[in-house]
């Protein structure tokens, strides 16, 4: 059974291995081993604290195969997208240029570097390895949001997620080549490596504040603006299905879309409920329905995907899932029935 | 012996003939006959000045058109430095900013010399006369003069900068380019633009004069007009300026 749980120091080597497999655009996984170790310490510290108000906390979780003990994925969420440094992205804007004397006017599409989303919470560090499968990938993605539902005081009302943009062979980003390369003269992969080590502010803060006139970008760059890269398609579909929406923002590096989700409107947070749990639910594949199940702990937070059935105000769950969730009879479980496609 | 004088009403026919002929230099009178009559007949100290060059037989062989545009619009070329020391990145990025810095300065709209005289000598006389006139009437021509030379065009006659930049912003107004360029420039990017967003041929054309007008550039240089950071906003042609005593416009 795949179990979603907080990362621990003992996971460093496995997380480092997963990070090495992740696409180059997953900035938060591009740093050194030391950087990952620091990220794990930050998560452990955040989970052990009695947090009343969100701040600089950064949480990191892993997806573990409880049978083999191997990690199948990693995912994080930052309480504040822009706590230590602003959260940079481009906002799609329109400028009107007009000449009253000539009676002419034009509307021009521009990209404006902004920090609009700095106050939101941020989904980060998402990578599902081949062992996760579609179901595990959904668990890895949505269990973070069930953690948010369990601990709303730790997060903002809005959660954002930057999706990987379109890249070509050899990690070439058409958007970066038309924008970032103009400013910094380096490859996209090198830019991500620098940001992985030093944070996105390292380069984003040096991007000029003036609007970028979209008509001047290469045609290939314009085509990929706001488009999801193939490697992020599954993750995008999961979040979109949960209620995340595409608004006016794109990533400042690869032009991928930035998704926004209101916690009050997301299925995983607004439609999940807590029930007392009872052991003994059918675990046969044909019995009951599949749910995403999570305990309500912090450092002990666990989530699994398992069959369960709602009976007389209690959620009956199989013993394996009960054990994985570290729940006893009558404990509270947050549960979300898997919808279509989940 | 050549001489320069202010144009008179009787010069109209010869000027129009000269304007339509093959003369070295840049710019055209580019006006209708009646407008040219207004210029030539207007009272001193107002409007646009046309100076004509006569050869030894007192035949018109060149002219200079001096004026003060209500609004002058150019791109000013600049630099923006970006440094990320720990990543070994230090870049001086060329920029273009749309400005009206030269508003109020006198503009040499056209300078043409033909008719069998030595062009450079004729141009030198015309330019000297322009400078004298401008110095004598600073309220009319400002404290410095400028000339915007035509930029580089491709084989089909299209401006490289226009193709890369202007057409995206002002294509429906291209008919106004020759007559109301400063107004048309209001449609161009109002924020500083990084030249790196332009394709290489357009970048290379910034500040470069078209081959057909290289002689005019040499005449201006010889008369101590100086290169500037300004370029034409539509074709990227260079702007040369003649500072007068003291700073300012």
Q: How far is CA A266 from the centre of its chain?
A: 14
Confidence of residue B18 (pLDDT cuts 50, 70, 90): confident
Any domain includes A95: no
Co-location of A299 and A262 in the same domain: no
Tell me which residues of chain A have a C-beta less than 8 Å from any C-beta of chain B. 95, 97-99, 101-102, 104-106, 108, 178, 182-186, 194, 198, 202-203, 206, 208, 210-213, 215-217
What does the pLDDT read at residue A281? 59
Q: Is the pLDDT of residue B249 over 50?
A: no
Co-location of A78 and A218 in the same domain: yes
Give B-chain residues touching A106 at CB under 8 angstroms. Answer: 169-170, 172, 187
Instruction: Give the tens place of pLDDT for each residue, A142-170.
Output: 999 999 999 999 999 999 999 999 999 88
Which range, of A12-26, A144-158, B197-211, averages the lowest pLDDT?
A12-26
Which CATH number characterizes residue A259's domain? 3.40.630.30
At B11, is the secondary structure helix, strand, or coil?
A: helix
Query: Which of B80, B172, B193 lies at the smallest CB-CB distance from A213?
Result: B193
Co-location of A264 and A126 in the same domain: yes
Which CATH number characterizes residue A287's domain? 2.40.40.20
What does the pLDDT read at residue A285? 56
Give B-chain residues touching A95 at CB under 8 angstroms. Answer: 190
Co-location of A239 and A322 in the same domain: no
Any domain includes A129: yes
Cβ distance A185 to B91 less than 8 Å, yes or no, reads yes
Predicted-complex ipTM score: 0.86
What does the pLDDT read at residue B41? 52
Substitution target from B73, B180, B181, B186 for chain A, most A beta carbons within 10 A? B186
CA distance B8 to B244: 27
Substitution target from A110, A183, A222 for chain B, most B beta carbons within 10 A? A183
What does the pLDDT read at residue A104? 87
Listed residues A223, A241, A268: the one ending a domain: A268
Co-location of A145 and A276 in the same domain: no
Q: Is the pLDDT of residue A35 over 60?
A: yes
Co-location of A72 and A212 in the same domain: yes
- B104: closest CA of chain A, how far (Å): 19
Q: Is the pLDDT of residue A339 over 60?
A: yes
What does the pLDDT read at residue B31? 62
Instruction: Give the tens place of pLDDT for each residue, A199-247.
Output: 888 899 888 889 999 999 999 999 999 999 999 999 999 999 999 999 9
Q: Is the pLDDT of residue B23 over 70?
A: yes
The structural domains of chain B, ordered by start, are 1-67+105-140 (3.40.630.30), 70-103+143-249 (no CATH)
Instruction: Give the tens place of pLDDT for each residue, B75-129.
Output: 999 999 988 988 889 999 999 999 999 998 999 999 999 888 899 999 999 999 9
What does the pLDDT read at residue A208? 84
Domains of chain A: total: 2
Co-location of A210 and A188 in the same domain: yes
Co-location of A172 and A303 in the same domain: no
What does the pLDDT read at residue A78? 96
Co-location of A168 and A242 in the same domain: yes
Any domain includes A106: no
Q: Is the pLDDT of residue B248 over 50?
A: no
Any domain includes A103: no
Cβ proximity of B130 and B65 under 8 Å: no
Local structure of residue B70 (DSSP, 8 states) = S
What does the pLDDT read at residue A279? 87
What does the pLDDT read at residue B247? 45
Listed residues A220, A240, A268: the one ending a domain: A268
Range of the domain at A333: 272-337
Cβ distance B84 to A194 less than 8 Å, yes or no, reads yes
Co-location of A187 and A330 in the same domain: no
Any domain includes A342: no
Looking at per-residue pLDDT, the higher value among B80 and B48 belongs to B80
Which range of A307-316, B14-23, B44-53 scores highest in mean pLDDT? It is: A307-316
Q: Is the pLDDT of residue A175 over 90?
A: yes
What does the pLDDT read at residue A341? 46
Q: Is the pLDDT of residue A84 over 90?
A: no
Percent share of chain B, pLDDT over 90: 60
Any domain includes A15: yes
Co-location of A253 and A165 in the same domain: yes
Cβ proximity of A169 and A252 under 8 Å: no
Listed residues A235, A268, A301: the one ending a domain: A268
Any domain includes A100: no
Q: Buried b / exposed e across B139-163, counting CB within 10 Å, b at 16+?
A: ebbbbbbbbbbbbbbeeeeebbbbb
Q: Is the pLDDT of residue B131 over 90?
A: yes
Cβ distance A208 to B87 less than 8 Å, yes or no, reads no
Substitution target from B79, B82, B233 for chain A, most A beta carbons within 10 A? B82
- What average pLDDT does this structure show over B39-67? 80
Bridge pairing between strands A289-294 and A245-250:
unpaired
Cβ proximity of B215 and B138 under 8 Å: no
Co-location of A226 and A288 in the same domain: no
Any domain includes A228: yes
């Amino acid at each position: 059974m795949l179990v979603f749980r907080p990362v621990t120091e003992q996971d460093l080597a496995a997380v480092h291995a997963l990070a090495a497999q992740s696409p180059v655009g997953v900035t938060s996984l591009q740093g050194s081993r030391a950087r990952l170790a620091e990220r794990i310490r930050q998560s452990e510290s955040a989970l052990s604290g009695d947090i009343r108000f969100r701040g600089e906390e950064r949480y990191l979780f892993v997806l573990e195969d409880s049978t083999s003990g191997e990690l199948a994925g990693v995912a994080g969420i930052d309480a504040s997208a822009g706590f230590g440094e602003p959260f940079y992205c481009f906002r799609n804007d329109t400028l009107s240029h007009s000449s009253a004397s000539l009676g002419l006017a034009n509307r021009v599409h521009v990209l404006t570097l902004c920090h609009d989303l700095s106050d939101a919470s941020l989904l980060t560090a998402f990578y599902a390895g081949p062992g996760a499968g579609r179901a595990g990938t959904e668990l890895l993605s949505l269990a973070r949001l069930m953690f948010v539902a369990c601990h709303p005081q730790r997060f903002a009302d809005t959660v954002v997620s930057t999706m990987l943009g379109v890249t070509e062979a050899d990690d070439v980003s058409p958007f970066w080549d038309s924008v970032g390369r103009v400013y910094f003269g380096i490859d996209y992969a090198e830019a991500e490596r620098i940001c992985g080590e030093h944070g996105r502010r390292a380069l984003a803060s040096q991007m000029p504040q003036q609007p970028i006139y979209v008509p001047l970008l290469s045609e290939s760059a314009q085509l990929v603006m706001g488009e999801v890269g193939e490697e992020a398609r599954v993750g995008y579909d999961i979040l979109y299905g949960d209620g995340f929406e595409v608004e006016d923002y794109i990533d400042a590096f690869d032009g991928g879309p930035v998704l926004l989700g209101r916690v009050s409107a997301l299925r995983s947070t607004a439609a999940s409920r807590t029930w007392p749990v009872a052991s003994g639910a059918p675990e046969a594949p044909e019995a009951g329905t599949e749910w995403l199940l999570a305990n309500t702990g912090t450092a002990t937070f666990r989530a699994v995907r398992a069959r369960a059935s709602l009976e007389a105000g209690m959620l009956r769950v199989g013993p394996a899932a009960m054990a994985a969730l570290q729940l006893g009879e009558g404990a509270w479980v947050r549960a979300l029935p898997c919808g279509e496609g989940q | 012996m050549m001489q320069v004088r202010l144009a008179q009403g009787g010069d109209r026919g010869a000027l129009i003939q000269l304007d339509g002929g093959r003369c070295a230099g840049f710019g055209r009178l580019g006006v209708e006959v009646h407008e040219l009559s207004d210029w030539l007949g207007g009272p001193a100290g107002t409007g646009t000045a046309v100076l004509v060059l006569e050869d030894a037989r007192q035949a018109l062989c060149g002219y200079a058109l001096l004026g003060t545009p209500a609004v002058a619009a150019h791109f000013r070329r600049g630099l923006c430095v970006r440094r990320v020391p720990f990543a070994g990145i230090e870049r001086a990025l060329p920029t273009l900013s749309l400005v009206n810095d030269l508003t109020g300065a006198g503009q040499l709209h056209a300078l043409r010399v033909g008719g069998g005289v030595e062009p450079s000598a004729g141009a030198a006389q015309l330019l000297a006369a322009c400078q004298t006139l401008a110095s004598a009437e600073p309220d009319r021509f400002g404290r410095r003069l400028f000339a915007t030379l035509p930029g580089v065009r491709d084989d089909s006659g299209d401006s490289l900068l226009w193709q890369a930049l202007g057409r995206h912003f002002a294509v429906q107004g291209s008919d106004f380019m020759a007559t109301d360029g400063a107004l048309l420039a209001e449609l161009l990017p109002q924020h500083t633009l990084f030249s790196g967003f332009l394709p290489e041929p357009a970048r290379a054309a910034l500040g470069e004069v078209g081959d057909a007008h290289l002689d005019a550039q040499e005449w201006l240089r010889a008369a101590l007009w100086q290169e500037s950071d300004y370029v034409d906003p539509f074709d990227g042609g260079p702007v040369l300026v003649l500072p007068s005593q003291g700073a300012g416009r």
